[in-house]
Chain A
Amino acid sequence: MYWLRRAWAELKNDVFVLPSRTLALAWVVALAVLPAVYADAYVLRILTMTCLFAMFAASWDLLAGYSGQVSFGHALFFGAGAYASALLSSRLGISPWTTIWAGAAAALAFGVLTGYLCLRLRGSYLSLATLAFPLIVLGVLFAFPDFSGGELGISGLRRLAATPVANYYVALCSMLATVFGLWLLTESKFGLVLHAIRDDETAARASGIDTPRYRLAVFAISAAVAGFTGALYAHYLRVAGPSALEVALSFQVVIWGIFGGVATIYGPVAAVFVLYPLTEWLGSFKSFGELRLLVFAAIVLLVLLFMPRGLTPWARDKVEARCPRCKERNGAWRSACRLCGAALA
């Protein structure tokens, strides 16, 4: 009873006061309840893929938005997780439920390695160096086709769950858990330190923060999440191939991240939920389905002209205002801040 009252109090005071949080809650509920209302296999497949890519985009945002290390080769961690999990489960016969964690661990190792190699690099140099890593790994994979399956990859992987609905819930729960976890991480002291490092690394170091350690840590966490997603993806499609490492995927996650709004975590997630089903829907048209990428790029370009900071910052600014005194967000219709009482402009 106490917990119910507590939950209700939290909801009333923390969630419903802000339209964006209310919307997020409604969206979570809608996603959770969807299969009970409409269990169409096609829609479930699209939403499963969307959840997986949303996790992937959120992990990129942690790395690029919060610590300022804009990675153009995030597909490396995705592919590492996919291949590691695929190799372990198909060659050694281990259950996929175990190998996905192994995939995350392998990706974490790659993340630490990449982070270490990029410690001295800044800005565009770091971005372009990260672009190179997945391509080098691709070359290595093609050099050992007996081990890696070459351009065909590893196929015939075991599913995590049997039915589309079960797979959907696996993806959904993983996505909600990781995105919420990442968001909590960024709202904590760790996130504060990351902000400091991104804004002015010299000042952060002068304040006594061990910036290399934080940068490595972010690479590791981001890579682990991306690798976990890659493993889930491989077991869902039942194929882990070089398409999990390609440049197009790295560019795609950059587009999602920036389109949704960097340094928000929920921004890229929203971007994936808007753009991925949209692209798929465009592709289903018989007449101009083949132009889907063109329409996608055009939409991205046009939207960017009006919302250069991204989708979610623009949307939030429409419905919320920031208090000039305590800097907390309030509903835009309010005349006074809900926390400190200052007059909202």
Chain B
Amino acid sequence: MTTIMRSFIARALIGGATLSLAASVQAQTVKIAILGPMAFVQGENHWAGAEMARDEINKAGGIRVGGKRLQVELVRADTNEIQSVPDATNAVERVVTRDKVDFLVGGFRSEAVLAMQEVAMDAKKIFLGVGAAHSKLGLNVEQDYNRYKYWFRVAPTKDVDLARTLFAVLGSIGQQIRTELKTDTPKVAILAEKAAWTEALVAAAQKNLPAMKMEVVGVWQPSATATDVTAELSAIERSGAQIVFTILSGPVGISVGRQMGERSMKAVAWGINVEGQKEEFWQAAAGKAQFVSTLDTYAEVEMTPKTIPFVRAFKERYKKAPTYTAATYDAIMLLKAVIEQEGTLDADKLVPAIEKTTHVGTGATATWDKRHDLVWGIGTTAGIAVQWQDGRKVPFWPPQVKGMQPFRMPPR
């Protein structure tokens, strides 16, 4: 074999030997792997949330496991899942076999997380999902409990529950339009990127909106990576819609925000706009995305008693606001809570403990159903709604939470 291959095998052998030696000697830390696309915002937030949790726990002395106190050690694993699914599964295999981690946290791209889940379940490691919303991940738990029981979704709520939140907020915005614009049935244009995950949402919108006394004037489906939505927006303007219901996760969300502002459209955008949740959105839309509103997780509002201190500490440390993948903080705190409760690191004992617990996190108060998905509830796990006003994300829903501000409509 070639020299490179030979030296690689030699290195792998030596590395493996050293690590197994080390593993047999140490057991002084709780090792948690943070899996995410580290070159991108989602992975950065995965790691940042985890770091904050680790530093807080270790400063307070670590996790109490039985009689001992163990420190938390994080293993940073770049899954590169946005670009390559096999890279992600290789990363999971690596942290399980080489680094011998005890728990897995993270994941983002649903196609990759489905494959990563398989590797994690093979190894019988608890995998807390923070980022992928696809229902299949939870469906697997229901269909084959004994294999998939180690999976729990800490964030976000599964995709069908996102729909319920969207309609709840849509109802409230619709009501505001009815009073302000004196029209009985607000017109809604559905602007959803063409992707499998939006299909169900579009169908649900077409069914529910008439029942909510709102008229669907059309459905437009640009590509998720579209950079020019002139066609769609021209047609939406012509249809006279007052609300543009967005179901977007890709960069098309930026184009929509920017071009709606450039055209000074009278309609207001509400829905899922994943790019709109990022701090960089305002700059990416060249300062034009006024009034764009989207579902989100973190803001300086009192969702739970921990929200505001967490958001402030995050902003101070990392100089920007957290996005929903920073809920790795909650995942690690959840692990700490159940480990201390059960006094063991054994996955089979921790699983039933998580199933029964209620965890007050930073973005949600979480309980889990039999699919190990979050139980939906406004004010508990449904998240918040934010609107971009003058360069800042202003939270406006749910109104009963302290810190909410009013929703603004574009001038007519």
Do any CB atoms of chain A lie under 8 A from CB atoms of chain B in the complex? yes
Contact of A150 among B8, B13, B197 (CB under 8 A): B197
> In the complex, what residues of A have CB within 8 A of residue B328's CB?
none
Question: Are A145 and B83 in contact (CB-based, < 8 A)?
Answer: no
Q: Mark A267-305, 1 if CB is under 8 A from B, else 0.
A: 000100110011011011010011011000000000000
Question: Are A243 and B84 in contact (CB-based, < 8 A)?
Answer: yes
> In the complex, what residues of A have CB within 8 A of residue B38's CB?
289-290
**CA A156 to CA B113, docked complex, whole Å:** 12
> In the complex, what residues of A have CB within 8 A of residue B114's CB?
152, 155-156, 238-239
B302 contacts the other chain (CB 8 A)? no
Q: How many residues of A contact B (CB 8 A)?
A: 44
Q: Choose, from A22-30, A121-129, A199-207, A330-338, the stretch at the interface.
A: A22-30
> In the complex, what residues of B have CB within 8 A of residue A290's CB?
38-39, 78, 80
Tell me whether A151 and B195 are in contact in the complex, defined as CB-CB below 8 angstroms, given that A274-B4, A290-B39 are known contacts: yes
> In the complex, what residues of A have CB within 8 A of residue B4's CB?
274, 278
Question: Are B111 and A277 in contact (CB-based, < 8 A)?
Answer: no
B25 contacts the other chain (CB 8 A)? no
A45 contacts the other chain (CB 8 A)? yes
B114's closest neighbor in chain A, by CB? A155
Tell me whether A241 and B8 are in contact in the complex, defined as CB-CB below 8 angstroms, given that A42-B97, A145-B196 are known contacts: no
B118 contacts the other chain (CB 8 A)? yes
Question: Are B8 and A281 in contact (CB-based, < 8 A)?
Answer: yes
Contact of A152 among B8, B86, B196 (CB under 8 A): B196
Contact of A151 among B16, B96, B111 (CB under 8 A): B111
Instruction: Report which residue of A42, A49, A242, A248 has the largest number of chain B beta carbons within 10 angstroms of its beta carbon.
Output: A42
List residues 193-225 of chain B with CB under 8 A from any CB of chain A. Answer: 194-197, 199
Q: Mark B97-126, 1 if CB is under 8 A from A, else 0.
A: 110000000000011001100100000000
Question: Are B197 and A151 in contact (CB-based, < 8 A)?
Answer: yes
B1 contacts the other chain (CB 8 A)? yes
**CA A43 to CA B16, docked complex, whole Å:** 10
B5 contacts the other chain (CB 8 A)? yes
**CA A315 to CA B140, docked complex, whole Å:** 49
> In the complex, what residues of A have CB within 8 A of residue B93's CB?
41-42, 45
Question: Are B86 and A277 in contact (CB-based, < 8 A)?
Answer: no
Contact of A155 among B80, B83, B96, B115 (CB under 8 A): B115
Question: Are B1 and A26 in contact (CB-based, < 8 A)?
Answer: yes
Contact of B115 among A46, A239, A292 (CB under 8 A): A239
**CA A22 to CA B16, docked complex, whole Å:** 29
A286's closest neighbor in chain B, by CB? B76
Question: Are A315 and B2 in contact (CB-based, < 8 A)?
Answer: yes
> In the complex, what residues of B have CB within 8 A of residue A230's CB?
none
B355 contacts the other chain (CB 8 A)? no
> In the complex, what residues of B have CB within 8 A of residue A26's CB?
1
> In the complex, what residues of A have CB within 8 A of residue B199's CB?
145-146, 150
Q: Mark A24-54, 1 if CB is under 8 A from B, else 0.
A: 0011001000000010111101100100000
CB distance from A149 to the nearest CB of B (A): 6
* B residues neighboring A (CB under 8 Å): 1-2, 4-5, 8, 11-13, 16, 38-39, 76, 78, 80, 83-87, 89-91, 93-94, 96-98, 110-111, 114-115, 118, 134, 136, 140, 194-197, 199
Extra contacts besides A40-B16, A150-B195 (20): CB < 8 Å: A38-B16, A40-B12, A41-B97, A42-B90, A42-B97, A43-B16, A45-B90, A152-B110, A152-B196, A153-B111, A155-B114, A155-B136, A156-B140, A237-B85, A239-B114, A241-B85, A243-B111, A280-B90, A281-B12, A290-B80
